[in-house]
Amino acid sequence: MECVFCKIVNGEIPCKKIYEDDNVLVFLDINPYSLGHTLIIPKKHVLDFETIDEELLMNILKVAKNISKLVCDKLGADGYKLIQNNGLAQEVKHFHLHIIPVYNDEKKMSIDEVYKKITE
């Protein structure tokens, strides 16, 4: 299987990991829409919203609640969006939830600076 997210889970592709547990991995998006744009993915390959089991989905939402607060607090965001795409709208065919912080006045920072600020 040539799934980029499965390769990240398996350590074949590096990521800026924010959080990990037995079921999910959370990391910074390498092409962020805004500072702190974060992805939450299940560690096992699940295609989309239609095929994810409810227990795993609830775990992802619980993690999203905690991580969105962490990212917003650490980066001074004024809000955030949760986005999950399916079908044609889904660029990577592995369920993932985007946390996209929004700002009144966004500062310029590199992904390394954002990672350091979130994980310190």
Instruction: State the virtual CA torsion across 60, 14, 90, 52 in degrees, nearest 10.
Output: -30
Measured CA to CA in angstroms, residue 66 lies from 18, 50, 55, 73, 105 at distances of: 11, 24, 17, 11, 23
Catalytic residues: 96
Cross-strand partners of 41: 25
CA 12 to chain centroid? 18
Contact 35, 114 (CB under 8 A): yes
